Amino acid sequence: MAQQKNQENQEKSRHTFAFGKTNYKLLLIGIGLLFLGYLLMIGGASDTPNEFSREIFSFRRITLAPIIIIAGFVVEVFAIMKKSEDEK
């Protein structure tokens, strides 16, 4: 009886994913936030290397983009650590 139950558990574990549907959705949201944060950092270069552009010190690049990137990493960690509904 115990051997049959153990064999059923092994077959069930072979056919399941590591995460549930919500985990994958959260992972994609986190990746999207990271991508958006890095996109917000792009730009600010001057046309010639001999000129200095103060545009690199804008609010978007110095404050907003890092906050969005940190939020993306927090969502990623939460998505990995969250227990799926199937395991409960």
Residue 5 belongs to a domain: no
Cα 33 to Cα 62: distance, rounded to the nearest angstrom: 16
The predicted-structure confidence for 21-80, as pLDDT tens digits, reads as follows: 999 999 999 999 999 999 999 987 778 888 888 888 999 999 999 999 999 999 999 999
**pLDDT surpassing 70 at residue 5:** no
Distance CA 55, CA 46 (A): 8
- Residue 4 within any structural domain of the chain: no
**Longest CA–CA separation in the chain, Å:** 79
Q: Residue 26 is part of which domain span?
A: 18-81
Residue 21 to residues 17, 57, 69, 83, Cα–Cα distance (Å): 9, 40, 23, 11
> What mean pLDDT comes out for the span 4-28?
77
Assess if residue 6 is contained within a domain: no
Residue 9 forms part of a structural domain? no
If one counts the domains in the chain, the total is: 1
